A and B are shown apart, each in its own frame.
Chain A
Amino acid sequence: MKTAEEKKSTWKELPEGDVLEGASSLQFKTGNWRSIRPVHHPEKCIHCLLCWIACPDSAIKVKDGRFQTIDYDYCKGCGICSHECPKKAIEMVPEKK
Protein backbone atom coordinates (compact mmCIF):
# COMPACT_ATOMS: atom_id res chain seq x y z
CA MET A 1 0.00 0.00 0.00
CA LYS A 2 1.22 3.46 -0.83
CA THR A 3 1.38 5.70 2.21
CA ALA A 4 0.17 9.30 2.32
CA GLU A 5 3.66 10.71 3.05
CA GLU A 6 5.24 9.07 0.02
CA LYS A 7 6.02 11.38 -2.91
CA LYS A 8 4.08 10.05 -5.85
CA SER A 9 5.75 9.82 -9.25
CA THR A 10 4.56 11.99 -12.12
CA TRP A 11 3.64 10.40 -15.43
CA LYS A 12 7.09 11.30 -16.76
CA GLU A 13 8.87 9.59 -13.86
CA LEU A 14 6.90 6.35 -13.66
CA PRO A 15 8.18 3.29 -15.51
CA GLU A 16 6.05 2.87 -18.65
CA GLY A 17 3.57 0.05 -19.14
CA ASP A 18 2.32 -0.62 -15.60
CA VAL A 19 5.50 -2.44 -14.59
CA LEU A 20 6.17 -3.06 -10.91
CA GLU A 21 9.05 -4.71 -9.07
CA GLY A 22 8.26 -8.33 -8.23
CA ALA A 23 6.62 -9.45 -4.99
CA SER A 24 4.99 -6.04 -4.51
CA SER A 25 1.90 -7.88 -3.25
CA LEU A 26 3.81 -8.50 0.00
CA GLN A 27 3.37 -4.79 0.76
CA PHE A 28 -0.39 -5.09 0.35
CA LYS A 29 -1.75 -6.45 3.62
CA THR A 30 -5.01 -7.90 2.39
CA GLY A 31 -5.75 -9.29 5.84
CA ASN A 32 -7.58 -6.07 6.66
CA TRP A 33 -10.35 -7.09 4.21
CA ARG A 34 -11.36 -9.89 6.60
CA SER A 35 -14.77 -9.86 8.27
CA ILE A 36 -14.59 -13.40 9.67
CA ARG A 37 -11.45 -14.92 11.16
CA PRO A 38 -10.26 -18.54 11.07
CA VAL A 39 -9.35 -19.80 14.53
CA HIS A 40 -7.27 -22.96 14.71
CA HIS A 41 -7.97 -25.59 17.38
CA PRO A 42 -4.70 -27.56 17.72
CA GLU A 43 -6.31 -30.34 19.76
CA LYS A 44 -8.47 -31.35 16.78
CA CYS A 45 -5.79 -30.84 14.06
CA ILE A 46 -4.34 -33.99 12.43
CA HIS A 47 -1.87 -31.99 10.25
CA CYS A 48 -3.31 -33.34 6.98
CA LEU A 49 -2.52 -29.88 5.54
CA LEU A 50 -5.62 -29.74 3.33
CA CYS A 51 -6.03 -26.17 4.61
CA TRP A 52 -2.52 -25.35 3.38
CA ILE A 53 -3.28 -26.84 -0.06
CA ALA A 54 -6.60 -25.01 -0.37
CA CYS A 55 -5.66 -21.56 0.94
CA PRO A 56 -5.72 -19.16 -2.03
CA ASP A 57 -3.49 -16.64 -0.24
CA SER A 58 -0.75 -18.94 1.13
CA ALA A 59 -1.74 -17.76 4.59
CA ILE A 60 -1.43 -21.17 6.28
CA LYS A 61 2.12 -21.50 7.57
CA VAL A 62 3.61 -24.97 7.77
CA LYS A 63 6.92 -26.20 9.20
CA ASP A 64 8.31 -29.72 9.01
CA GLY A 65 5.04 -31.04 7.67
CA ARG A 66 3.01 -29.62 10.54
CA PHE A 67 0.50 -26.78 10.78
CA GLN A 68 2.14 -23.78 12.49
CA THR A 69 -0.06 -20.73 12.28
CA ILE A 70 -2.31 -18.55 10.14
CA ASP A 71 -0.79 -15.40 8.67
CA TYR A 72 -3.45 -12.82 9.46
CA ASP A 73 -1.62 -10.14 7.45
CA TYR A 74 -2.82 -11.85 4.26
CA CYS A 75 -5.75 -14.11 5.29
CA LYS A 76 -8.87 -12.55 3.73
CA GLY A 77 -11.20 -14.72 5.80
CA CYS A 78 -12.65 -16.63 2.85
CA GLY A 79 -13.25 -19.70 5.02
CA ILE A 80 -12.03 -22.25 2.48
CA CYS A 81 -9.62 -23.76 5.06
CA SER A 82 -12.46 -24.21 7.53
CA HIS A 83 -14.68 -25.75 4.86
CA GLU A 84 -11.99 -28.20 3.72
CA CYS A 85 -10.85 -29.28 7.20
CA PRO A 86 -12.04 -32.89 7.78
CA LYS A 87 -11.77 -32.51 11.56
CA LYS A 88 -13.48 -29.13 11.96
CA ALA A 89 -10.26 -27.83 13.49
CA ILE A 90 -10.63 -24.37 11.94
CA GLU A 91 -13.55 -22.33 13.18
CA MET A 92 -14.68 -19.10 11.52
CA VAL A 93 -15.57 -16.40 14.05
CA PRO A 94 -16.68 -12.81 13.40
CA GLU A 95 -13.99 -10.14 13.56
CA LYS A 96 -14.62 -7.72 16.41
CA LYS A 97 -13.40 -4.16 16.51
Chain B
Amino acid sequence: MSQEEKKVAKTGNEAFAEAMRQINPDVVAAYPITPATEIVQIFSQFVADGMVKTEFVPAESEHSAMSACIGASACGARAMTGTSAQGLALMWEMLYIAAGLRLPIVMAVVNRALSAPINIHCDHSDTMGARDSGWIQIFSENVQEAYDNLIQAVRIAEHPDVCLPVMVTTDGFILSHCLETLAMLSDEQVSQFVGPVPNRTDLLSSLEKNQPITIGALDLQDYYFEHRRQVAEAMVKAKRVIALIGDEFAKLSGRHYSFVEPYRLEEAEAAVVVMGSSTGTAKEVVDSLRASGKKVGLLKIRVFRPFPEEEIVKALGKVKVVGIMDRADGLNAVSGPLYPEIAAAFYHHQSRPQLLDFIYGLGGRDVPPRDIETIFSDLLEVTSSGKRNFTVKYIGVRE
Protein backbone atom coordinates (compact mmCIF):
# COMPACT_ATOMS: atom_id res chain seq x y z
CA MET B 1 0.00 0.00 0.00
CA SER B 2 1.32 3.36 -1.00
CA GLN B 3 2.31 5.96 1.57
CA GLU B 4 0.82 8.73 -0.52
CA GLU B 5 -2.60 7.11 -0.67
CA LYS B 6 -5.28 8.96 1.23
CA LYS B 7 -8.79 7.98 2.26
CA VAL B 8 -11.47 10.35 1.06
CA ALA B 9 -15.27 10.38 0.96
CA LYS B 10 -16.63 10.51 -2.59
CA THR B 11 -19.77 9.57 -4.49
CA GLY B 12 -19.38 7.28 -7.48
CA ASN B 13 -19.73 10.21 -9.85
CA GLU B 14 -17.15 12.26 -7.93
CA ALA B 15 -14.76 9.32 -7.92
CA PHE B 16 -15.11 8.92 -11.70
CA ALA B 17 -14.52 12.67 -12.17
CA GLU B 18 -11.46 12.59 -9.89
CA ALA B 19 -10.04 9.61 -11.78
CA MET B 20 -10.60 11.51 -15.04
CA ARG B 21 -8.82 14.56 -13.59
CA GLN B 22 -5.85 12.39 -12.66
CA ILE B 23 -5.87 10.63 -16.04
CA ASN B 24 -5.95 14.09 -17.67
CA PRO B 25 -7.28 12.99 -21.08
CA ASP B 26 -6.74 15.04 -24.24
CA VAL B 27 -10.44 15.23 -25.11
CA VAL B 28 -13.67 14.78 -23.19
CA ALA B 29 -16.88 15.10 -25.22
CA ALA B 30 -20.14 14.63 -23.40
CA TYR B 31 -23.85 15.30 -23.10
CA PRO B 32 -25.58 15.29 -19.71
CA ILE B 33 -27.96 12.55 -18.58
CA THR B 34 -29.14 11.52 -15.14
CA PRO B 35 -27.56 9.88 -13.16
CA ALA B 36 -24.23 10.30 -15.04
CA THR B 37 -24.44 14.10 -15.50
CA GLU B 38 -22.26 14.96 -12.53
CA ILE B 39 -19.26 13.03 -13.85
CA VAL B 40 -18.67 15.40 -16.74
CA GLN B 41 -20.16 18.39 -14.91
CA ILE B 42 -17.56 18.08 -12.15
CA PHE B 43 -14.90 17.38 -14.75
CA SER B 44 -15.86 20.49 -16.76
CA GLN B 45 -15.11 22.52 -13.62
CA PHE B 46 -11.63 20.97 -13.53
CA VAL B 47 -11.23 22.11 -17.14
CA ALA B 48 -12.49 25.61 -16.33
CA ASP B 49 -10.12 25.81 -13.37
CA GLY B 50 -7.16 24.84 -15.53
CA MET B 51 -6.48 21.67 -13.51
CA VAL B 52 -6.37 19.52 -16.67
CA LYS B 53 -5.18 20.11 -20.21
CA THR B 54 -8.32 18.53 -21.68
CA GLU B 55 -10.24 19.93 -24.63
CA PHE B 56 -13.85 19.77 -23.38
CA VAL B 57 -16.52 19.38 -26.06
CA PRO B 58 -20.10 19.94 -24.86
CA ALA B 59 -21.92 18.06 -27.63
CA GLU B 60 -25.56 18.39 -28.70
CA SER B 61 -26.36 14.71 -28.07
CA GLU B 62 -24.75 11.51 -26.88
CA HIS B 63 -24.51 10.38 -30.50
CA SER B 64 -22.40 13.47 -31.18
CA ALA B 65 -20.43 13.08 -27.95
CA MET B 66 -19.35 9.57 -28.97
CA SER B 67 -18.72 10.77 -32.52
CA ALA B 68 -16.42 13.51 -31.20
CA CYS B 69 -14.58 10.95 -29.06
CA ILE B 70 -14.18 8.76 -32.15
CA GLY B 71 -12.77 11.65 -34.18
CA ALA B 72 -10.41 12.65 -31.39
CA SER B 73 -9.27 9.08 -30.81
CA ALA B 74 -8.73 8.52 -34.54
CA CYS B 75 -6.40 11.55 -34.37
CA GLY B 76 -4.38 9.85 -31.64
CA ALA B 77 -5.91 11.67 -28.65
CA ARG B 78 -6.83 10.02 -25.35
CA ALA B 79 -10.61 10.52 -25.34
CA MET B 80 -13.14 9.90 -22.58
CA THR B 81 -16.83 10.43 -21.90
CA GLY B 82 -19.61 9.38 -19.56
CA THR B 83 -23.26 8.50 -20.03
CA SER B 84 -26.22 6.43 -18.93
CA ALA B 85 -29.32 4.60 -20.22
CA GLN B 86 -30.96 6.53 -23.09
CA GLY B 87 -27.67 8.30 -23.70
CA LEU B 88 -25.89 4.99 -24.17
CA ALA B 89 -28.76 3.84 -26.38
CA LEU B 90 -28.42 6.96 -28.54
CA MET B 91 -24.70 6.22 -28.92
CA TRP B 92 -25.45 2.70 -30.10
CA GLU B 93 -24.31 2.89 -33.73
CA MET B 94 -21.21 4.86 -32.71
CA LEU B 95 -20.29 2.24 -30.10
CA TYR B 96 -19.82 -0.29 -32.87
CA ILE B 97 -17.79 2.20 -34.90
CA ALA B 98 -15.48 2.97 -31.95
CA ALA B 99 -14.80 -0.74 -31.50
CA GLY B 100 -14.61 -1.59 -35.21
CA LEU B 101 -12.07 1.20 -35.82
CA ARG B 102 -10.14 -0.06 -32.78
CA LEU B 103 -10.26 3.23 -30.90
CA PRO B 104 -9.30 3.00 -27.20
CA ILE B 105 -11.98 5.35 -25.86
CA VAL B 106 -12.82 5.02 -22.16
CA MET B 107 -16.35 5.70 -20.98
CA ALA B 108 -17.90 5.84 -17.52
CA VAL B 109 -21.37 4.35 -17.71
CA VAL B 110 -23.84 4.73 -14.86
CA ASN B 111 -26.25 1.82 -15.17
CA ARG B 112 -29.84 2.95 -15.47
CA ALA B 113 -33.05 1.36 -16.71
CA LEU B 114 -34.02 1.94 -20.33
CA SER B 115 -37.37 3.53 -21.13
CA ALA B 116 -40.28 2.83 -21.37
CA PRO B 117 -41.73 3.45 -18.87
CA ILE B 118 -39.30 6.27 -18.22
CA ASN B 119 -37.19 5.63 -15.16
CA ILE B 120 -33.91 7.10 -13.96
CA HIS B 121 -32.87 4.37 -11.50
CA CYS B 122 -30.55 1.42 -11.65
CA ASP B 123 -30.69 -1.72 -13.64
CA HIS B 124 -28.27 -3.19 -16.14
CA SER B 125 -30.42 -3.11 -19.28
CA ASP B 126 -28.47 -0.21 -20.82
CA THR B 127 -25.03 -1.80 -20.52
CA MET B 128 -26.34 -5.27 -21.39
CA GLY B 129 -27.73 -3.79 -24.61
CA ALA B 130 -24.15 -2.90 -25.61
CA ARG B 131 -22.70 -6.29 -24.72
CA ASP B 132 -22.00 -7.36 -28.30
CA SER B 133 -20.68 -4.00 -29.51
CA GLY B 134 -16.98 -4.88 -29.12
CA TRP B 135 -16.54 -2.75 -25.99
CA ILE B 136 -14.79 -4.21 -22.98
CA GLN B 137 -17.23 -4.00 -20.05
CA ILE B 138 -16.14 -3.75 -16.42
CA PHE B 139 -18.70 -3.60 -13.58
CA SER B 140 -17.97 -2.00 -10.21
CA GLU B 141 -19.24 -3.23 -6.84
CA ASN B 142 -18.49 0.01 -5.00
CA VAL B 143 -17.00 3.48 -5.42
CA GLN B 144 -13.44 2.27 -4.79
CA GLU B 145 -13.75 -0.21 -7.62
CA ALA B 146 -15.26 2.41 -9.93
CA TYR B 147 -12.23 4.64 -9.36
CA ASP B 148 -9.72 1.80 -9.70
CA ASN B 149 -11.45 0.32 -12.75
CA LEU B 150 -11.51 3.60 -14.67
CA ILE B 151 -7.77 4.11 -14.18
CA GLN B 152 -7.00 0.55 -15.30
CA ALA B 153 -9.40 0.93 -18.24
CA VAL B 154 -7.13 3.49 -19.91
CA ARG B 155 -4.20 1.06 -19.94
CA ILE B 156 -6.34 -1.89 -21.03
CA ALA B 157 -7.93 0.05 -23.90
CA GLU B 158 -4.65 1.49 -25.19
CA HIS B 159 -2.60 -1.70 -24.95
CA PRO B 160 -1.26 -2.44 -28.45
CA ASP B 161 -2.65 -6.00 -28.33
CA VAL B 162 -6.12 -4.67 -27.52
CA CYS B 163 -6.97 -1.22 -28.94
CA LEU B 164 -10.61 -1.57 -27.99
CA PRO B 165 -12.88 0.88 -26.16
CA VAL B 166 -13.74 0.17 -22.53
CA MET B 167 -16.83 1.03 -20.50
CA VAL B 168 -16.60 1.02 -16.72
CA THR B 169 -19.94 0.94 -14.97
CA THR B 170 -21.41 1.90 -11.63
CA ASP B 171 -25.00 1.33 -10.53
CA GLY B 172 -27.20 4.41 -10.91
CA PHE B 173 -27.80 6.34 -7.67
CA ILE B 174 -26.77 3.35 -5.53
CA LEU B 175 -23.13 4.06 -6.37
CA SER B 176 -23.28 7.20 -8.48
CA HIS B 177 -24.85 9.35 -5.74
CA CYS B 178 -23.93 7.60 -2.50
CA LEU B 179 -20.96 8.71 -0.48
CA GLU B 180 -18.37 6.04 0.28
CA THR B 181 -14.80 6.16 1.51
CA LEU B 182 -12.12 5.24 -0.94
CA ALA B 183 -8.36 5.32 -1.15
CA MET B 184 -7.16 7.58 -3.94
CA LEU B 185 -3.77 7.36 -5.57
CA SER B 186 -1.76 10.56 -5.88
CA ASP B 187 -2.01 12.57 -9.10
CA GLU B 188 1.60 11.65 -9.82
CA GLN B 189 0.97 7.92 -9.35
CA VAL B 190 -1.99 7.93 -11.74
CA SER B 191 -0.14 10.04 -14.24
CA GLN B 192 2.78 7.59 -14.19
CA PHE B 193 0.51 4.56 -14.29
CA VAL B 194 -1.44 5.67 -17.36
CA GLY B 195 1.66 7.18 -19.01
CA PRO B 196 1.66 8.87 -22.40
CA VAL B 197 -0.69 7.66 -25.14
CA PRO B 198 1.11 4.77 -26.93
CA ASN B 199 1.88 5.28 -30.60
CA ARG B 200 -0.89 4.11 -32.88
CA THR B 201 -1.64 4.54 -36.56
CA ASP B 202 -3.60 7.77 -36.36
CA LEU B 203 -4.72 10.57 -38.66
CA LEU B 204 -2.65 13.38 -37.15
CA SER B 205 0.70 11.61 -37.05
CA SER B 206 0.15 10.25 -40.56
CA LEU B 207 -0.31 13.83 -41.76
CA GLU B 208 2.80 14.94 -39.88
CA LYS B 209 4.75 12.19 -41.62
CA ASN B 210 3.22 13.32 -44.91
CA GLN B 211 1.77 9.83 -45.39
CA PRO B 212 -1.94 10.54 -45.09
CA ILE B 213 -4.25 7.62 -44.29
CA THR B 214 -7.96 6.91 -44.40
CA ILE B 215 -9.66 5.43 -41.33
CA GLY B 216 -13.07 3.83 -41.70
CA ALA B 217 -13.33 3.47 -45.48
CA LEU B 218 -15.97 1.34 -47.20
CA ASP B 219 -15.14 -2.29 -46.50
CA LEU B 220 -17.39 -4.67 -48.41
CA GLN B 221 -17.58 -8.43 -48.96
CA ASP B 222 -13.85 -8.65 -49.61
CA TYR B 223 -12.45 -7.24 -46.35
CA TYR B 224 -15.13 -6.56 -43.71
CA PHE B 225 -15.05 -10.14 -42.43
CA GLU B 226 -11.25 -10.04 -41.91
CA HIS B 227 -11.52 -6.77 -39.99
CA ARG B 228 -14.27 -8.14 -37.76
CA ARG B 229 -12.14 -11.26 -37.18
CA GLN B 230 -9.42 -8.92 -35.89
CA VAL B 231 -11.86 -7.35 -33.43
CA ALA B 232 -12.77 -10.81 -32.15
CA GLU B 233 -9.09 -11.61 -31.68
CA ALA B 234 -8.48 -8.32 -29.85
CA MET B 235 -11.22 -9.28 -27.38
CA VAL B 236 -9.49 -12.64 -26.80
CA LYS B 237 -6.15 -10.89 -26.25
CA ALA B 238 -7.81 -8.43 -23.87
CA LYS B 239 -8.10 -11.27 -21.36
CA ARG B 240 -4.34 -11.49 -20.93
CA VAL B 241 -3.99 -7.71 -20.87
CA ILE B 242 -6.71 -7.19 -18.25
CA ALA B 243 -4.89 -9.67 -15.98
CA LEU B 244 -1.54 -7.99 -16.67
CA ILE B 245 -2.83 -4.48 -15.92
CA GLY B 246 -4.62 -5.85 -12.83
CA ASP B 247 -1.30 -7.18 -11.51
CA GLU B 248 0.48 -3.92 -12.22
CA PHE B 249 -2.29 -1.96 -10.53
CA ALA B 250 -2.10 -4.26 -7.49
CA LYS B 251 1.60 -3.45 -7.09
CA LEU B 252 0.76 0.23 -7.13
CA SER B 253 -2.36 0.22 -4.96
CA GLY B 254 -2.37 -3.00 -2.97
CA ARG B 255 -5.80 -3.73 -4.44
CA HIS B 256 -5.97 -6.72 -6.75
CA TYR B 257 -8.59 -7.15 -9.43
CA SER B 258 -9.44 -10.19 -11.50
CA PHE B 259 -12.23 -11.16 -13.88
CA VAL B 260 -14.37 -12.64 -11.14
CA GLU B 261 -14.32 -12.50 -7.36
CA PRO B 262 -15.26 -15.71 -5.55
CA TYR B 263 -16.68 -15.12 -2.08
CA ARG B 264 -16.96 -17.96 0.46
CA LEU B 265 -17.26 -20.59 -2.27
CA GLU B 266 -15.25 -23.18 -0.31
CA GLU B 267 -17.43 -26.30 -0.09
CA ALA B 268 -20.43 -24.22 -1.13
CA GLU B 269 -23.49 -26.22 -2.19
CA ALA B 270 -25.45 -23.18 -3.36
CA ALA B 271 -24.18 -19.92 -4.76
CA VAL B 272 -25.36 -16.81 -6.55
CA VAL B 273 -23.70 -15.01 -9.46
CA VAL B 274 -24.04 -11.27 -9.12
CA MET B 275 -22.74 -8.09 -10.76
CA GLY B 276 -22.46 -4.53 -9.51
CA SER B 277 -23.64 -3.01 -6.26
CA SER B 278 -25.93 -5.85 -5.14
CA THR B 279 -22.78 -7.89 -4.53
CA GLY B 280 -22.27 -6.11 -1.21
CA THR B 281 -25.79 -6.99 -0.04
CA ALA B 282 -25.36 -10.58 -1.22
CA LYS B 283 -22.07 -10.92 0.70
CA GLU B 284 -23.91 -9.90 3.89
CA VAL B 285 -26.55 -12.55 3.24
CA VAL B 286 -23.88 -15.18 2.53
CA ASP B 287 -22.16 -14.29 5.83
CA SER B 288 -25.34 -14.63 7.86
CA LEU B 289 -26.34 -17.90 6.17
CA ARG B 290 -22.82 -19.27 6.68
CA ALA B 291 -23.10 -18.29 10.37
CA SER B 292 -26.22 -20.45 10.60
CA GLY B 293 -24.37 -23.38 9.03
CA LYS B 294 -25.59 -23.13 5.43
CA LYS B 295 -22.96 -23.91 2.80
CA VAL B 296 -23.43 -20.91 0.52
CA GLY B 297 -21.23 -18.50 -1.39
CA LEU B 298 -21.22 -16.10 -4.29
CA LEU B 299 -19.35 -15.23 -7.43
CA LYS B 300 -19.07 -11.63 -8.50
CA ILE B 301 -18.47 -10.97 -12.18
CA ARG B 302 -16.32 -7.88 -12.59
CA VAL B 303 -15.44 -8.20 -16.29
CA PHE B 304 -18.42 -9.10 -18.44
CA ARG B 305 -16.67 -8.46 -21.80
CA PRO B 306 -14.46 -10.32 -22.51
CA PHE B 307 -16.64 -13.00 -20.92
CA PRO B 308 -14.64 -14.92 -18.28
CA GLU B 309 -15.92 -18.37 -19.20
CA GLU B 310 -13.00 -20.37 -17.79
CA GLU B 311 -12.92 -18.45 -14.52
CA ILE B 312 -16.66 -18.94 -14.00
CA VAL B 313 -16.46 -22.69 -14.70
CA LYS B 314 -13.47 -23.02 -12.37
CA ALA B 315 -15.15 -21.09 -9.55
CA LEU B 316 -18.58 -22.76 -9.75
CA GLY B 317 -17.83 -26.21 -11.16
CA LYS B 318 -18.24 -27.94 -7.81
CA VAL B 319 -21.27 -26.01 -6.59
CA LYS B 320 -24.52 -28.01 -6.74
CA VAL B 321 -26.98 -25.21 -7.47
CA VAL B 322 -26.27 -21.71 -8.77
CA GLY B 323 -28.69 -18.81 -8.92
CA ILE B 324 -27.84 -16.22 -11.54
CA MET B 325 -28.91 -12.73 -10.59
CA ASP B 326 -29.86 -10.81 -13.72
CA ARG B 327 -30.49 -7.09 -13.27
CA ALA B 328 -31.92 -6.92 -16.78
CA ASP B 329 -34.53 -8.95 -18.60
CA GLY B 330 -33.78 -10.62 -21.91
CA LEU B 331 -37.44 -10.39 -22.97
CA ASN B 332 -36.76 -13.57 -24.93
CA ALA B 333 -39.38 -15.71 -23.17
CA VAL B 334 -36.57 -17.60 -21.41
CA SER B 335 -34.33 -15.58 -19.08
CA GLY B 336 -32.17 -12.54 -18.45
CA PRO B 337 -28.97 -12.02 -20.44
CA LEU B 338 -26.44 -13.43 -17.93
CA TYR B 339 -28.14 -16.82 -17.53
CA PRO B 340 -27.63 -18.24 -21.05
CA GLU B 341 -23.97 -17.23 -21.14
CA ILE B 342 -23.24 -19.06 -17.90
CA ALA B 343 -25.31 -22.04 -18.97
CA ALA B 344 -23.34 -22.15 -22.23
CA ALA B 345 -20.06 -21.92 -20.33
CA PHE B 346 -20.94 -25.14 -18.49
CA TYR B 347 -22.48 -27.05 -21.38
CA HIS B 348 -19.36 -29.04 -22.27
CA HIS B 349 -18.34 -29.77 -18.70
CA GLN B 350 -19.27 -32.96 -16.90
CA SER B 351 -19.23 -31.32 -13.50
CA ARG B 352 -21.78 -28.55 -13.62
CA PRO B 353 -24.28 -27.01 -11.26
CA GLN B 354 -28.02 -26.79 -11.72
CA LEU B 355 -28.78 -23.23 -12.83
CA LEU B 356 -31.70 -20.98 -12.03
CA ASP B 357 -32.21 -17.39 -13.14
CA PHE B 358 -33.46 -14.60 -10.91
CA ILE B 359 -34.42 -11.31 -12.51
CA TYR B 360 -34.29 -8.58 -9.88
CA GLY B 361 -34.05 -4.87 -9.20
CA LEU B 362 -35.45 -3.54 -12.49
CA GLY B 363 -35.90 0.24 -12.57
CA GLY B 364 -34.07 0.65 -9.26
CA ARG B 365 -36.40 -1.65 -7.28
CA ASP B 366 -34.71 -2.00 -3.90
CA VAL B 367 -32.87 -5.27 -3.30
CA PRO B 368 -33.06 -5.90 0.43
CA PRO B 369 -31.26 -8.87 2.05
CA ARG B 370 -34.56 -10.76 2.39
CA ASP B 371 -34.87 -10.96 -1.42
CA ILE B 372 -31.45 -12.55 -1.66
CA GLU B 373 -32.38 -14.86 1.24
CA THR B 374 -35.38 -15.93 -0.85
CA ILE B 375 -33.03 -16.75 -3.72
CA PHE B 376 -30.80 -18.84 -1.45
CA SER B 377 -33.79 -20.57 0.04
CA ASP B 378 -34.92 -21.55 -3.49
CA LEU B 379 -31.40 -22.78 -4.28
CA LEU B 380 -31.08 -24.78 -1.07
CA GLU B 381 -34.49 -26.31 -1.78
CA VAL B 382 -33.06 -27.63 -5.07
CA THR B 383 -29.91 -28.91 -3.35
CA SER B 384 -32.01 -30.98 -0.96
CA SER B 385 -34.76 -32.13 -3.34
CA GLY B 386 -32.61 -32.35 -6.48
CA LYS B 387 -35.63 -30.98 -8.35
CA ARG B 388 -35.53 -27.78 -10.33
CA ASN B 389 -39.05 -26.44 -10.78
CA PHE B 390 -38.42 -23.27 -12.76
CA THR B 391 -35.84 -21.60 -15.02
CA VAL B 392 -36.54 -17.99 -14.19
CA LYS B 393 -38.11 -16.23 -11.26
CA TYR B 394 -38.81 -12.53 -10.82
CA ILE B 395 -37.59 -11.38 -7.42
CA GLY B 396 -39.08 -8.33 -5.72
CA VAL B 397 -41.93 -7.80 -8.16
CA ARG B 398 -45.46 -7.63 -6.74
CA GLU B 399 -47.22 -10.87 -7.68
Question: Which residues of A are interface residues toward B (Cβ below 8 A)?
Answer: 2, 8-11, 14-25
Contacts and interface: CB of A to CB of B under 8 A. Distances in A.
Contacts of B211: 21-22
Contacts, number: 59
A61 B223 CA distance: 33
Given A11-B226, A24-B214, A17 B206 contact: no
Nearest to A10: B226
Interface residues of B, number: 24
B214 A16 contact: no
A20 B223 CA distance: 12
Which of A14, A22, A24 has the largest count of B CB atoms less than 10 A from its CB? A22
A24 B217 CA distance: 9
A24 B163 CA distance: 24
B329 to A, nearest CB: 35
A86 B222 CA distance: 44
Given A19-B214, A21-B213, 19 more contacts: A8-B222, A10-B226, A11-B225, A11-B226, A11-B229, A11-B233, A14-B223, A16-B227, A17-B101, A17-B102, A17-B163, A18-B100, A18-B102, A18-B219, A19-B213, A21-B214, A22-B206, A23-B212, A24-B214
B102 A16 contact: yes
Interface string B89-108: 00000000000111100000
A22 B214 contact: yes
B216 interface: yes
B215 interface: yes
A14 B226 contact: yes
Given A14-B226, A14-B227, A20 B217 contact: yes
Interface of B: 100-103, 163, 201, 206, 211-217, 219, 222-223, 225-227, 229-230, 233-234
Contacts of B230: 11, 14, 16-17
Chain A interface SS verdict (over half): loop
Nearest to A9: B226
20 contacts: A2-B222, A8-B222, A9-B226, A11-B233, A14-B226, A15-B201, A16-B163, A17-B100, A17-B102, A17-B230, A18-B102, A18-B217, A19-B201, A19-B214, A20-B214, A20-B217, A21-B211, A21-B214, A22-B211, A24-B217
A23 B206 CA distance: 13
Contacts of A10: 226
Contacts of A19: 201, 213-215
B315 to A, nearest CB: 33
Contacts of B234: 16
B207 to A, nearest CB: 9
